[in-house]
Structure 1
């Protein structure tokens, strides 16, 4: 399993060297976009709208737009120093709380923690302490140049880091439109609804659920492939030097004709008659 971060988790005087691994993965079926006419993949180019030129990575800098069209430019060295300064700090558990105290709306992404060299005993100590007390830790951690608030808990004998949103990242529920304050409910209807919930109540078993759309999409793709209903992107035609040279010469000739100043006809002055 790929290690995406190495650091130290600390609580009190106990420090645990750990490695972090992504606990989840995106299983979306990625579809490419093709040109309908020639079935070639579409390219997305970074182009400056003012200079009208395509940009390379080295031509691009990061900046913060503090007001419309006004920016503070930050170079890579600034950001790298700031990131390294924060990442070098130990991830300290600030508080211990109950998992039930955190609404699921705050949870974002999960990561597994494994002990790094020499950290096995301290890792086991934290795991046992969390299990016995039924508490979870709250800490801050830098992941991909962003400081994240995180929950540290135990999942199937493994310590897990769950990144959670800061309060100001959760939108105000009062801003949701058209939510009724109070609705008059008929008791009979409510009883039937509660009875239905009771009938459908069961223990959560994640294995019984699957992504039906993704399964159907993959089956459709496989069926088309087996029936030879496929397409091949056309290769970009190689430049014809002769044709290009003729085009360039013709363009130069046309430009020369266009830029050549027009000659004005001289007026002929009639000769004076000599008196005899």
Structure 2
């Protein structure tokens, strides 16, 4: 399992060296865009709309747009300084709370925490303490220059870290449009709805849920592959200029010969007669 981060978990004076591994993976099927005429993949270029030309990476700067078409430019040195100031390689547990106190809207991405060299016993201690207390740790961590709020909990005998949104990243539900006001619901309607919920209530078993669209798409792709319903991208035409030195010299010589022939002054009949008389 690929390590995405190395550091430590700290709470109080306890320090546990750990490695971070992504606990989930994106299984979306990525489709490429091809030019219909020649089946070549389409490339995307960074183009300046004002200069109307492609812009190289070294000619690009980062900026924050604080109002329409008005920017504050930030240079790499400034960004790197802030990054280093906040790049503490530790999961600092700030406090402990109950999991049910956190609404699921806050949860973002899950990571497995594995003990690094010499951290096995302290890792097991934290795991046991969390299990026995029924609590989870609220922590802060910096991943890829971004400070994240996170929680640490036990999942199948493994410490799991889940990044969660900061409160100001969760939008206000009151701003959602077209939410109906309190409406009169009859007791019969409510009883029927509750009966339906009861009939559909079961134990959550994630294994029985599958991505039917992804499965159908992969089946279609495999059918087309086995039926040879495939296309091959057209190779980019090679330059007509010879790459071999011998060919280059031959081309240069041919060019000189052609130039010499076209620029050489032709001998006219009158000139030939004159040359004969002088002889």
- 1:23-46, Cα deviation, whole Å (9 max, x unpaired): 111000000011122221111001
Residue in structure 2 matched with residue 79 of structure 1 by the alignment: 79
Residue in structure 2 matched with residue 163 of structure 1 by the alignment: 163
More displaced, 203-212 or 174-183? 174-183
Q: How far has the Cα of 1:91 moved from its partner?
A: 2.6
- 1:113-149, Cα deviation, whole Å (9 max, x unpaired): 1111111111111111100000011111111211111
Residue in structure 2 matched with residue 177 of structure 1 by the alignment: 177
Q: Taking structure 2 as the reference length, what is the TM-score of the superposition?
A: 0.82
Report 1:96-245 matches (<5 A).
96-241=96-241
Structure 2 unmatched runs, 5+: 243-279
Structure 1 unmatched runs, 5+: 243-276
Q: Tell me, yes or no, if structure 1 residue 2 matches structure 2 residue 2.
A: yes
Report the 3-state secondary structure (helix = DSSP H, G, I; strand = E; otherwise coil) of the residue aligned with 1:64.
strand
More displaced, 65-74 or 182-191? 65-74
Structure 1 segments, 4+ long, off by >4 Å, are: none
User: 1: CA distance between counterparts of 2:52 and 2:37?
Assistant: 26
Q: How far has the Cα of 1:239 moved from its partner?
A: 3.4
Q: How far has the Cα of 1:17 moved from its partner?
A: 1.1
User: 2: CA distance between counterparts of 1:168 and 1:43?
Assistant: 37
User: 2: CA distance between counterparts of 1:231 and 1:90?
Assistant: 49
User: 1: CA distance between counterparts of 2:178 and 2:88?
Assistant: 47
Q: How far has the Cα of 1:95 moved from its partner?
A: 1.3
Q: Tell me, yes or no, if structure 1 residue 26 matches structure 2 residue 26.
A: yes
- 1:175–1:131: structure 2 CA closer, same or farther, 3 Å change rule? same
User: 1: CA distance between counterparts of 2:85 and 2:158?
Assistant: 28
Contact 2:34 2:42 in 1 (8 A): yes
Report the 3-state secondary structure (helix = DSSP H, G, I; strand = E; otherwise coil) of the residue aligned with 1:28.
coil
User: 1: CA distance between counterparts of 2:5 and 2:80?
Assistant: 15
Contact 2:111 2:160 in 1 (8 A): yes
Q: How far has the Cα of 1:180 moved from its partner?
A: 1.1
Report the 3-state secondary structure (helix = DSSP H, G, I; strand = E; otherwise coil) of the residue aligned with 1:239.
coil
Q: Taking structure 1 as the reference length, what is the TM-score of the superposition?
A: 0.83
Q: How many residue pairs get matched?
A: 242
Report the 3-state secondary structure (helix = DSSP H, G, I; strand = E; otherwise coil) of the residue aligned with 1:207.
helix
User: 2: CA distance between counterparts of 1:56 and 1:210?
Assistant: 43
Contact 2:2 2:21 in 1 (8 A): yes
User: 2: CA distance between counterparts of 1:132 and 1:208?
Assistant: 31
- 1:36-87, Cα deviation, whole Å (9 max, x unpaired): 2222111100112222222232222222222333322223333233223322
Q: How far has the Cα of 1:241 moved from its partner?
A: 4.8
Residue in structure 2 matched with residue 255 of structure 1 by the alignment: none
